[in-house]
């Protein structure tokens, strides 16, 4: 893909999270996220080979992609339709860069039943 095609792909969706998708490719999200630093801060090992990870509330996927970079088999879950976030575009860009998901999976919310959805906020070093 040309630089213009990549930029067009990125602009084709609204992004919440701003993060490096692949070397030299950054999403334009309004909330900057450094997933690698946050996972380090919480003691997540640098090598997750052979492990599985579930990212609940993935949205655009900054943590999903970082967990995958660390070797985990990742399943990402979000209440939003993946076509309405940057997640699927990030998958394409990571795949093109040769750095990302071979088999991306974002569970489609209509197929998941929620008896109760609770949210909480905390001060997290990943959000600046």
Taking only the tens place, the pLDDT of each residue in 53-92 is 888 888 999 999 899 889 998 888 888 877 788 888 888 7
Angle between helices 62-69 and 87-97 (to 10 degrees): 30
Higher pLDDT, 47 or 3: 47
Residue in the structure block whose two tokens are 């070093």: 125
φ and ψ at 37, to 5 degrees? -65, -40
Angle between helices 3-11 and 87-97 (to 10 degrees): 160
Neighbours of 126 (CB within 10 A): 20
Q: Going by C-beta distance under 8 Å and a sequence separation of 6 or more, which residues neighbour residue 51?
A: 71, 72, 73
Question: The whole model's pTM is what?
Answer: 0.74
Residue 109 CA to residue 80 CA, distance in Å, equals: 7
pLDDT of 22 over the 50 cut: yes
Going by pLDDT thresholds of 50, 70 and 90, the confidence category of residue 115 is: very low
């Amino acid at each position: 893909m040309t630089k213009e095609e990549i930029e067009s792909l990125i602009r084709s969706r609204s992004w919440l999270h701003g993060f490096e998708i692949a070397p030299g490719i950054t999403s334009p999200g309004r909330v900057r996220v450094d997933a690698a630093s946050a996972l380090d801060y919480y003691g997540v090992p640098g090598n997750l080979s052979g492990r599985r990870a579930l990212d609940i509330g993935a949205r655009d996927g900054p943590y999903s992609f970082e967990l995958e970079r660390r070797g985990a088999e990742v399943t990402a879950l979000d209440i939003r339709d993946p076509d309405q976030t940057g997640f699927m575009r990030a998958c394409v860009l990571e795949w093109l860069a040769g750095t990302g998901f071979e088999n991306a999976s974002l569970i489609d919310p209509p197929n998941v039943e929620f008896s109760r959805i609770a949210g909480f906020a905390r001060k997290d070093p990943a959000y600046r």
